[in-house]
Structure 1
Amino acid sequence: MTERPYWLAAGTVGWGAIVFWKAAELPQFDQYAHVGPGFMPSAVGLGLVVLGLLLALQIYRGVPFEEQGAEDVGEDHKVNYMALGLAAAASALPMLTMKPLGFVITCTGCFVLVAAAFKSRRWHLDLVLGLGFSLLCWWLFRRLGVQLGGLLPMMGV
Structure 2
Amino acid sequence: MTERPWWIAAGLAGWGAIVLWKAAELPQFDRYAGIGPGMFPSIVGGVLIVLGLMLAWQIHRGVRFEEQEAEDVAEGHAVSYRALGLAAAACALPMLTMKPLGFVVTCVGCFVLVAAAFKSRSHVLNAAIGLVFSLICWWLFRKLGVQLGGLLPIAEM
Q: 1:130 to 1:21 in 2, by over 3 A?
A: closer
* Structure 1 residue 77: Cα displacement: 1.7
Counterparts of 1:6-155 in structure 2, within 5 Å, are 12=12, 16=16, 19-20=19-20, 23=23, 26-55=26-55, 58-59=58-59, 63-155=63-155
State the SS of the aligned residue for 1:77: coil
Q: CA separation of 1:115/1:37 partners in 2, compared to 1, >3 Å: closer, same or farther?
A: same
Which amino acid counterpart does residue 103 of structure 2 have in structure 1?
Answer: F
In 2, the alpha carbon distance for the partners of 1:19 and 1:100 equals: 18
The offset of 1:147, in angstroms, is: 2.1
Is the alpha carbon distance of 1:97 and 1:71 closer, same or farther for their aligned partners in structure 2, counting shifts above 3 Å? same
In the alignment, the residues of structure 2 paired with residue 79 and residue 115 of structure 1 have an alpha-carbon distance, to the nearest angstrom, of 17
Specify every segment of 5 or more residues in structure 1 that has no aligned partner in the other structure, as ranges.
none
- The secondary structure found in structure 1 opposite 2:66 is coil
TM-score, length basis structure 2: 0.72
Residue-by-residue CA offset, 1:64-90 (whole Å, 9 max, x unaligned): 332223333322222223322322332
Percent sequence identity over matched residues? 74
Q: Tell me which amino acid in the other structure corresponds to 1:46.
A: G
How many positions carry a matched residue from both structures? 157
Q: CA deviation at 1:129?
A: 1.2
**Post-superposition shift, 1:2?**
5.9
1:45-72 CA distances to partner (integer Å, 9 max, x unpaired)?
Answer: 3323443454455456654332223333
Q: Report the secondary structure of 1:130's partner residue.
A: helix
TM-score, length-scaled by structure 1? 0.72
Partners in 2 of 1:100 and 1:17 — Cα distance?
A: 22
Secondary structure at 2:67 match in 1: coil
Tell me the C-alpha RMSD between the 2 structures.
3.3
